Each structure stands twice: as C-alpha cells, then as structure tokens.
Structure 1
C-alpha cells in the first residue's frame, strides 16, 4: 500500500502540472514527457530524504520547512492565477504551516513526516 500511495501522489502531481500547462495550450503528452524527465532527475534524492528521516536529525542545513512553504505558496498562487484548483496542494501547505507554527520552520523539510505519523 505504501508504494501505491507514492504512485498516487506522483500521478496527482503530474495531473496538477498538466492542468496548469493546458491553460497555456501545452498538450498533456508534452507535459507528461517533461514531468517524466524531471521526476527521473529528482527520484534519486529520495534516498537522501530517507537518510535524514532515519537519522532523526532535521538540522542538516538542507531545504527548510519555511523555504518549502514559500515555494509551495508560489505554486499555489500560480495555479490559481491560471484558473487551476490548488486542492491537491493545500494539504501539503497545511502540514508545513503546522510545522512552522510548532517552531520547526528552520528544520529540514523532511520533518513533515512527523505530521504524517499518527501515534497509536
């Protein structure tokens, strides 16, 4: 199920990109090719993220929660300005806002996993 969750979120991200690019006349097939190349370049970074999570230290000097919040806010604004819903992006925005409000804005963004884990 975990792999299906990763796939689902990846494909939802692709659809967000397609929706945004369609507003400027770019066919979905063209956007899909660009997304595929981008994801191929980004996927190896998943191991570095995993190492941060496994290490439990979110102070490696990487991209911070607040930096990610600003970037995501720009994507949300661009989506809305293009007439595309930001509904797929808003849950991510909420999790980052919670982390920042809890005093973790300067921490590495993989700390978001703390907001995904539900204590049992």
Structure 2
C-alpha cells in the first residue's frame, strides 16, 4: 500500500536542505507542516502553502510521515526523544548526516518505541533537490520505503539498500569521501599553478576534463581490489612513487603545503617498503582496508 496523493508530511529542520525538501513536497501536492528550532526560516515555505508548527510535536501529530533533517545525531535525539509517544505508529525518515552506527542506534531506539524508521543519505546540494541529478539513498524499514516511495521520489531518485539502517549512510559517506578528496586534489593543483600566477578558473578549464577522463578508469581498478591480485606490467607502485615524489618536490619548490599529497605519498611508500613496488597502484587499498573485512558480495 502506498500513501495517497497530498497526504500530510512533517519536515523537522529548516536549514538550506530542510527548506529544499519541504519545497519539493509542496510542489508534489502534499500538505506540509514545518518546524525549526530557530523561528524565521519558514516564511517562504508558509507563503508557498506550508503550515508553520509552533512545536515539533505539533508538526508530528499532524502527519503520518515525518522527515528529519537536523544538524547531527545528537540533535536528532534532542528533538525526537521527547516525542517518542507521538511518533509511535508513524514513519520517520531521517535525512540528517549520521554515521552508520549512529543510524543503527537510531533504528534500535525507534523499534523500542514502536516507530517505523528509515535512514537516508542525500547525494545532492539543496538547489538540486527535486531536480535531475538529485539522488537519495535509503536503508532500514522496507515497509516505510515502499509505502512512501512516491513522496521520496519527489526529492530525487530513491535507491533502497536493505534492512540494515546503517548501509545508506555508509554509502553516503563513502561517496562523499571520494568527492572531498577530489576537491582537495583540485585545490592542491590550483595552489601549485598559482605560484606561476595562474588563476583557479584557468586551471579548472584543464582540470575538469582531465579528472572526468580519469574517473572513467575507476572500474578498471575494481578487479584488482576485489580479487587481491595486483599484478601489473604497467605503471607499478615504483613508477607511481617516482611520480608522486616529483610532485612533492615541485610542490615544495612552489611553496605549497603538502597536507593533501603527503598522505598519498605515505600510502605508496609503505607498500613499496613492504616489497610491493612491482605491483599496481591500486594496492594502496591494502594499506587502508578494514582488518577484518566482510566478504565481497
């Protein structure tokens, strides 16, 4: 059974992302009750048709589906703990950035109080919500996901990863780690060329197509990482060590800090020191993987 069109939804938390989520629900024809700990952020939403709730409890009691988008794990408990009785029998979709084990703890808390809990990770910026390219990842209650899929899809594509409430945030944070390191790598490169008076905008014109092209080669690394066979006859760790060592020297010459590139150098150096210089660059995975990994599915 899925929810009816226009069914009431509560949105708790009206930061930039919370406001974007509430707007998407309004555009989809839902009745939306909004609440924020600090008043004043609901003005445009109310003008668009939302109802401003005086308290979080008021918003919850007016809705079957409660969407939470707060600062962190602690703030979720601060807001929801006093409302446990009101939330019983309702569906809670937590889109706050919480670590996987924090999501699992919230799911266990919800189960103890008879609350249907679905955790989610937002792979989008606020302006992207409800637009092409917006993607949200979910795990936890399959019942909540299936019943409220139409509403969830108003925010972006909706992918379900299973009953383990921590899986969505695990994927979310893993993907974000790649994003942050990519941006950090760009800033390092921008700092290097700034030593020659090149602007970040000019550097980006070359960096974007280069990074895009290199991203297409990521699937080639998966076979080695998943099998543990890093045999290669091209661009070994020894080769990459020489390249990264040269980048480090060039960075120092340019007066650029090594905060971004040094960890990469350290991973390569450790593998080479352990006798793996002839193997592929992808072997740096072995230097950071879990000591007791789960079997690859």
Gaps of 5+ in 1: none
**Structure possessing the higher relative contact order (Cα contacts under 8 Å, 6 or more residues apart):** 1
Partner of 2:204: 32
Question: Are 1:43 and 2:233 counterparts?
Answer: no
Partner of 1:2: 174
What displacement does 1:118 show? 3.2
Gaps of 5+ in 2: 1-172, 293-297
Find the residue that maps to 1:51 and give its secondary structure.
Answer: helix
What displacement does 1:72 show? 0.2
Name the CA distance, whole Å, in 2 between partners of 1:60 and 1:82: 33
Partner of 1:89: 261
What displacement does 1:60 show? 2.8
1:60 to 232, 255, 269: 232
Between structures 1 and 2, the one with greater strand share: 2
Find the residue that maps to 1:104 and give its secondary structure.
Answer: coil
Find the residue that maps to 1:25 and give its secondary structure.
Answer: coil
Return closer, same or farther for 1:55/1:119 CA change in 2, 3 Å cut-off.
Answer: closer
Instruction: For residues 78-107 of structure 1, give each alpha carbon's deviation from its aligned partner in whole angstroms, at most 9, with x where no partner exists.
Output: 011011112211111111111111111111
Larger Rg: 2
Find the residue that maps to 1:105 and give its secondary structure.
Answer: coil
Return closer, same or farther for 1:91/1:13 CA change in 2, 3 Å cut-off.
Answer: same
Partner of 1:19: 191
Name the CA distance, whole Å, in 1 between partners of 2:232 and 2:270: 21
Question: Structure 2 length normalisation: TM-score?
Answer: 0.39
Name the CA distance, whole Å, in 1 between partners of 2:219 and 2:250: 29
Instruction: Give every structure 1 segment of 4 or more consecutive aligned residues whose post-TM-superposition deviation is greater than 2 Å.
Output: none
Instruction: For residues 24-77 of structure 1, give each alpha carbon's deviation from its aligned partner in whole angstroms, at most 9, with x where no partner exists.
Output: 111111111211010111111101011221232111323211111110001110
Name the CA distance, whole Å, in 2 between partners of 1:110 and 1:8: 19
Partner of 2:251: 79
Contact 2:232 2:278 in 1 (8 A): no
Find the residue that maps to 2:274 and give its secondary structure.
Answer: helix
Mean alpha-carbon deviation: is it higher for 50-59 or for 27-36? 50-59
